[in-house]
Every structure is written in structure tokens, then in C-alpha cells.
């Protein structure tokens, strides 16, 4: 039982810790962190154009996770990238009628995992798209839909036919939706609330560390989608910019002004940019591999602190406690010199 009720509390990752429990497990190597769709590592790389193309999808697969290819490319290139990626890779779809052509082409090419990608999926356009895609795929594909941040939104997508629900509005590291609109739900509470709909919950946004991923899973997520934590890694697409201070890559939100300029010729007059573009350090292959191993190792260790041998036990055994803002500093290594 969770010691505090995350539902309706407006809490996010830094607002809580998980209390250590009795651990009967002899070694972290005995822990099973597998989850959503049988993933050995419950992590999906974000469907952003500066995060996931073929190289990232393959790297994620090698480390037990999944990639989600972005959709900001023509259909033939999308098909080519899918064919060079592992079979389980997710492919992204929008809600416009032209996306039906993309869906049909990718489905015929063998894709079976689809991600309906819309910023505010508690909407009629999302419901219509889900019904159209489910009619096309039948029972031969998995359709993840999102994003939403409330139980009403998650139930809406489940009723429309979504197989899994993507949760998170405004918490991403290059997302400015909450600043531009004032809307959103703190991510930990959003995950916990949406977990009651009886569909796998995929948490998207807000994770900055393996500990945050562990909290997301404990709150009810079956897997997490990562963007910022994987940005700049060796396997991300995009050119490397060499400067006097080192090598950098671009990382940007898909609702940023820069994406609108590149893909659409600019922002429509009725829209505001709800994302930003930043430069991140370009990491070597070794540095990148250390990041994913740190995630895997952190999760295995987290499970043992809960005395849990698998995800189901972890979610049952974790006890959350609310903490003060001072704990944020206490959590970090603070020895000086």
C-alpha cells in the first residue's frame, strides 16, 4: 500500500521518496525489471526528431528497451527506417487524414507497434483517429495513444480502443506547455491517477535520473519514455557542432518554433511554440553506454530497496513518503573538496 495518496495530490518526483523495505533477495542480478510488452528494460526512447531514428532504435533493443521512431519524415523514409530497426520498434502517427496513408504503408511493411502522437489526446480528433487505426489494424497491432494527464483522459482513450496510454503533459525537459498555457498535472500524480484505467501506462516526461524512473514505475507505469536523459548520446540523429568548449548536438521539443520552421515553414498565426531547442553535449559511445547501464543498474538496486523481485511486487511494496524541499539538496552527494 502507498503510504501517501498520489492521486489528486499534485506531486512530482522530487516531492517524494520511497521508504526502504525488508529485502529477501540475495543479489541485484536476481531482480527482474522487465515490464511493458515483455521489455527486459522498461524504457522507450522518445519519438522526437533529435532522439530516435534507426541507430537509437537498435541501441535501445540491444539494451532491452524499445525505440519509437519519429514521424517527421516522408512515408518512404519512414518505411526504410522501420525496416532497418528491430521488429518491435514503435512508429508514430498523427491524427490528420493524411496520416492514414502513413499508417497503412507502415502496417503493410510489417509494423505492429504504433504510437498515436498528439499533445492533448483527450479530444475528439484523437478518438476518431484511434477508431480509424483500430479498424485498419484489427487485432494485429498494438496502439499506444496519448498524451493525457487525468483519469478521465486515460479512460477516454481506453474506451476509444487504445491498447496502452501515454501519460504526461508539460513535464518534458524541452516542453514549455505549462509555461505557455498554464495547464498540466505534476507527473507522479498523473501516472498514479491514470493507472486505474486498466491499461498499461507509459510515463512520458519529467525523468531526470534512474531514481525518477523507479518512482514512475512504482506509481503505476509499465514503462517510461525518455528524451532528455538520452539527448546528445552517440546514437541520436543530427549533426555534431564543434565549438571551443566541446562538441554539441541539438535537442528540441516537437512543438518548438524550430521544428515548425523546419517542417511546416513556420508557426501558424493561431499557435504558440510550446517547446524549446537547446544544445547538449555530444557524448561518445562509451559515455552513452554508461548512461543506459546506469539506468538498468539503478532500477535493479531500487527493486531490492523495496524487497521486490519483479515489477508487480515493486508496485505493491513501495511506500511513498512526502518530503520537504530541503530533501532535494540532501538527496545529492554534498561532500565538498
Helix (H, G, I), strand (E, B) or coil at 15: helix
Catalytic residue among 7, 43, 175, 197: 175
Orientation angle between helical segments 151-160 and 124-137, nearest 10 degrees: 30
C-alpha to C-alpha distance for 87 and 128, rounded to whole angstroms: 27
Q: Taking a C-beta distance cutoff of 8 angstroms, is the pair 46, 89 a contact? A: no
CA nearest neighbour of 16 among 216, 184, 233, 297: 216
C-alpha to C-alpha distance for 63 and 75, rounded to whole angstroms: 28
Q: Quick check: bond before 147 cis, omega within 30?
A: yes
C-alpha to C-alpha distance for 233 and 244, rounded to whole angstroms: 20
Helix (H, G, I), strand (E, B) or coil at 70: coil
Tell me if residue 175 is catalytic.
yes
Strands (E) in 152-196, as ranges, are 164-167
- Catalytic positions, written as ranges: 175
Amino acid at each position: 500500500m502507498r503510504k501517501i495518496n498520489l492521486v489528486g495530490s499534485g506531486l512530482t518526483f522530487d516531492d517524494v521518496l520511497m521508504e526502504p523495505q525488508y529485502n529477501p533477495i540475495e543479489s541485484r542480478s536476481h531482480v527482474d525489471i522487465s515490464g511493458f510488452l515483455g521489455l527486459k528494460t522498461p524504457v522507450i526512447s522518445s519519438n522526437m526528431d533529435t532522439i530516435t531514428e534507426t541507430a537509437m532504435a537498435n541501441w535501445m533493443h540491444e539494451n532491452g528497451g524499445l525505440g519509437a521512431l519519429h514521424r517527421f519524415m516522408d512515408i518512404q523514409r519512414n518505411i526504410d527506417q522501420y525496416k532497418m530497426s528491430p521488429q518491435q520498434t514503435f512508429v508514430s502517427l498523427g491524427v490528420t487524414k493524411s496520416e492514414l496513408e502513413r499508417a497503412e504503408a507502415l502496417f503493410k511493411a510489417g509494423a505492429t507497434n504504433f504510437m498515436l502522437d498528439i499533445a492533448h489526446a483527450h479530444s475528439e480528433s484523437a478518438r476518431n483517429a484511434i477508431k480509424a487505426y483500430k479498424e485498419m489494424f484489427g487485432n494485429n497491432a498494438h496502439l499506444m495513444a496519448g498524451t493525457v494527464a487525468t483519469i478521465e483522459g486515460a479512460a477516454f482513450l481506453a474506451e476509444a480502443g487504445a491498447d496502452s496510454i501515454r501519460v504526461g503533459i508539460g513535464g518534458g525537459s524541452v516542453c514549455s506547455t505549462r509555461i505557455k498555457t498554464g495547464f498540466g498535472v505534476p507527473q507522479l500524480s498523473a501516472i498514479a491517477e491514470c493507472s486505474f484505467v486498466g491499461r498499461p501506462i507509459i510515463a512520458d516526461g519529467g525523468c531526470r535520473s534512474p531514481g525518477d524512473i523507479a518512482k514512475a514505475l512504482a506509481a503505476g507505469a509499465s514503462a517510461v519514455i525518455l528524451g532528455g536523459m538520452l539527448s546528445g548520446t552517440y546514437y541520436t540523429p543530427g549533426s555534431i557542432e564543434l565549438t571551443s568548449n566541446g562538441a554539441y548536438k541539438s535537442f528540441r521539443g516537437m512543438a518548438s518554433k524550430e521544428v515548425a520552421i523546419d517542417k511546416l515553414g513556420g508557426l501558424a498565426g493561431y499557435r504558440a511554440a510550446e517547446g524549446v531547442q537547446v544544445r547538449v553535449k555530444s557524448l561518445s559511445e562509451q559515455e552513452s553506454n554508461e548512461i543506459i547501464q546506469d539506468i538498468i543498474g539503478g532500477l535493479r538496486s531500487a527493486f531490492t530497496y523495496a524487497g521486490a523481485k519483479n515489477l508487480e511486487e515493486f508496485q505493491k511494496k513501495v511506500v511513498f513518503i512526502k518530503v520537504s524541499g530541503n530533501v532535494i539538496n540532501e538527496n545529492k552527494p554534498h561532500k565538498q573538496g
